[in-house]
Amino acid sequence: MQDYDPGAFPPFAVTVDLAVCTVREQRLHVLLVRRGEDPYQGAWALPGGFVRPRESAECAARRELAEETGLSQRTVEHLHLEQLRTYSDPDRDPRMRVVSVAYTALLPDLPEPRGGGDAAHAQWMPLASASPLAFDHDRILADAYERIGAKLEYTCLATSFCPPEFTLGELQQVYETVWGVELDRPNFRRKVLTTPGFVEAVEGAPRRTGGRGKPAAIYRAGAASALHPPLLRPEGRQS
Amino acid sequence: MQDYDPGAFPPFAVTVDLAVCTVREQRLHVLLVRRGEDPYQGAWALPGGFVRPRESAECAARRELAEETGLSQRTVEHLHLEQLRTYSDPDRDPRMRVVSVAYTALLPDLPEPRGGGDAAHAQWMPLASASPLAFDHDRILADAYERIGAKLEYTCLATSFCPPEFTLGELQQVYETVWGVELDRPNFRRKVLTTPGFVEAVEGAPRRTGGRGKPAAIYRAGAASALHPPLLRPEGRQS
DNA sequence: CCAAAAGTGTTAAAGATACACCCATGC
DNA sequence: GCATGGGTGTATCTTTAACACTTTTGG
C-alpha cells in the first residue's frame, strides 16, 4: 500500500462465482449455467459475473444468482452465502486478468430453475457429472465440495440442505449423501437431539416420509450454528 | 460472465493484506508496518500491497512480505500462507475501489525485523495493542485471530508457531496463548503424542527450557496436517 | 533442601459404536 | 402378514478430564 498511483495499475476485473449445492435423489447437485459466448461457449460453468463499481462481492453474488438462475428474490435474499476463497491465477481467464471471489451456498431441493433471461440456461447437475466446467470452475467446485464436507462436521450447516421443516431421516440423508457413507440411525439421532440448538421439535402431526413406514416427527433448524462436540465422519480425513 | 465487455468495467485495484502472527512472551503478536502516506498516514497497518499484472495473489503476498518487513527470502519462500478471505466493501479505501485478498501466516518467534527500505517501519505488536489500524485492518485481524484459534483445534498448525525443534511445553504454550486458557499438561502431552504424525521425537540430548526444571525432550513437526480427532478447546465456541 | 518444570499413572465421567428390538404405516 | 422406515434401549469400548505422584535440573 506504500506506493500508490492509480494510473500505474492495469485494470483487474473482479468477478464472483457461485457453487450452489443441493441434495436431490441421494446425490449432491450443483447449479450450473450454460455459457452462451466465447470463451468456453457451450460449456457448463458456475453462475457468476462481474462485480459492479458500487457493490460488495457478496451483493454481486446475490444479484448474479437471481439474474442467472431465476431463483426467487426471497430465496436469494435469505440464502446463507459463505465465502469460499479467491482465485487469482493470472491465466485463469484467457481474455484478461480476472480475479474471482467464490461463494458457496446450500439449498433444500427446489423445483427446477425456470424463468426468463439468462435463467433459461440454468439447471441442477449431479456433482459427479459436472466436469469439465469452463475456466477453473472444476477446481472451485472441488474446493467447495471439500469445504462443505468439512463444515458438516462441526457446524449445523446440514439443515441448510433441508426444507424449513424436516425429519431426522432427511437430515441424516444429507450427511450420508455429502460424505458418501452410511451412518447408524440410532446414534445419529441421539447425537443430533442431544446437541443443544441443533434442531428443535415442531409440535403437531407427524409426517409421512415416503409412502411406507412409520410417520416421522418433524423438526426445525435450531438456534445454534456450531456443533460441540463435532459430528466427525467415520473415516476421518480433512483438508 | 455472460455479458462481457472489457471497456465497460471500471478499474478495480486488487491488493493483498497479511496478518503475520507469532507468539512472544506469552502473547500473540502481529507484524505491522507504519504508513508513510495518506490516507491513514502515521497509522499502523497490516503489511500488503498491490498485486502485479502477471502474478497471483499468493505470489504478491510473499513478495510484499519480503519487501515490507525485511524477513529473509528463505523465510518468506517456505512460509505457510493461508488465504483468509477477501474484503470487497466499496468504501474500504477512500481513494478508489480496492478489493483485498487477506492471508494469514504463522511464524516462530523471530528477531525483530530490520532491513532496508520499507522494512524500517515494520515491527511486532501485541495483538491487544494493535488497534486501531488503518482501513478495515482491525476487522481483518479479528478474522485472522478467530481463524487461527479454530485451526489449532483440528490441524497441526500450532507447530508453525514453534522453531524447527521444540519441546512439548513450548507447543502447549502456543495453545494456551492463542486460546487464552490453561491446559492440563499430562493430558495435552498424551493427546499430542498419540496423534500420529503430529510431532516426532528428535533423538539426542534433551534441552533445558528455562533455567530451571528438568530438561525436556525435543520434537519436530510431523508429517500430518490434520488432527483426528481434534483437540478441542475447553469452552467450545466456534465460528 | 526447595522451587520449578518435565514426565508417569490412575480413576471416573462422558462420548462413540454396535447392536437388538419395538412401533406405525402401506400394501 | 410383511416390508419399510421411525424410534428406544443397552452393553461395550474409546476418549477426555481431573489430579496425585515421581523425576531431574538450578540455586
CATH of the domain at A12: 3.90.79.10
Mean pLDDT computed over A11-21 = 95
Last residue of a domain, one of B102, B132, B153: B153
Q: Domain residues for A137?
A: 6-153
What confidence tens digit (pLDDT) does each residue in A146-158 have? 999 999 999 999 9
* Residue A27 sits in the same domain as residue A97: yes
* Residue A176 sits in the same domain as residue A79: no
Strands (E), A129-232: 199-201, 219-221
- How many whole angstroms separate alpha carbon B114 and alpha carbon B108? 16
How does B71-95 read in b/e, with b if 16+ C-beta sit within 10 Å?
Answer: beeebbeebebbbbbbbbbbebbee
* Residue B134 sits in the same domain as residue B84: yes
Q: Contact, A29 vs A113, CB < 8 A?
A: no
pLDDT above 60 for A79: yes
The alpha helices in B9-132, defined as continuous H runs, are: 57-69, 73-78
Residue B169 lies in a domain: yes
Chain A stretch 118-177, residues whose beta carbon is closer than 8 A to a beta carbon of chain B: 118, 134, 154-155
Kindly indicate the confidence band of residue B1, based on its pLDDT and cuts at 50, 70 and 90.
very low
Q: Which of B184, B236, B43, B204 is nearest to A155 (CA)?
A: B236
State the CATH number of the domain containing residue B176: 1.10.10.10
Pairing of strands B98-107, B13-24: parallel
> pTM for the complete prediction?
0.92
User: How many domains does chain A fold into?
Assistant: 2
The x, y and z cell numbers of residue B48, run together, are 500488503
Q: How far is the CA of A152 from the C1' of D18 (A)?
A: 31
Give pLDDT, residue A121: 79
What confidence tens digit (pLDDT) does each residue in B76-100 have? 998 999 999 999 999 999 999 999 9
Residue A141 lies in a domain: yes
- How many whole angstroms separate alpha carbon A131 and alpha carbon A138? 6
Kindly indicate the confidence band of residue A10, based on its pLDDT and cuts at 50, 70 and 90.
low
Give pLDDT, residue B236: 46
Residue A239 lies in a domain: no
pLDDT above 90 for A127: yes
Strand C contacted by B185 CB (< 7 A): yes
Residues 47-66, chain A, CB closer than 7 Å to nucleic strand C: none
* Residue A91 sits in the same domain as residue A126: yes
* Residue B34 sits in the same domain as residue B145: yes
Shortest CA to C1' contact from A193: nucleotide: D7
Using the Cβ of A112 and the Cβ atoms of chain B, whether some distance falls under 8 Å is answered with no
Give pLDDT, residue B2: 44
Strand C contacted by B169 CB (< 7 A): yes
Residue B229 lies in a domain: no
* Residue A164 sits in the same domain as residue A134: no
- How many whole angstroms separate alpha carbon A75 and alpha carbon A62? 10
- Contact residues, chain A, for B49 at CB < 8 Å: 1-3
Residue A237 lies in a domain: no
* Residue B30 sits in the same domain as residue B138: yes
Q: What is the mean pLDDT of chain A?
A: 90
Residue B214 lies in a domain: yes
Residue A189 lies in a domain: yes
Q: Contact, A117 vs A140, CB < 8 A?
A: no
Q: At what angle do helices A168-179 and A185-194 cross, to 10 degrees?
A: 110
The alpha helices in chain B, defined as continuous H runs, are: 57-69, 73-78, 137-154, 168-179, 185-194
* Residue A103 sits in the same domain as residue A173: no
Kindly indicate the confidence band of residue B224, based on its pLDDT and cuts at 50, 70 and 90.
very high
* Residue B146 sits in the same domain as residue B194: no
Q: At what angle do helices B185-194 and B168-179 cross, to 10 degrees?
A: 110
Last residue of a domain, one of A116, A135, A153: A153
* Residue B66 sits in the same domain as residue B123: yes
Residue B138 lies in a domain: yes
- How many whole angstroms separate alpha carbon B44 and alpha carbon A74? 42
> What is the number of residues in chain B?
239
* Residue A148 sits in the same domain as residue A162: no
Instruction: Enumerate helices (H) and strands (E) in chain A, giving the number of each.
Output: 5, 9
Preceding peptide of A39 cis, ω within 30°: yes
Last residue of a domain, one of A109, A137, A153: A153
* Residue A82 sits in the same domain as residue A195: no
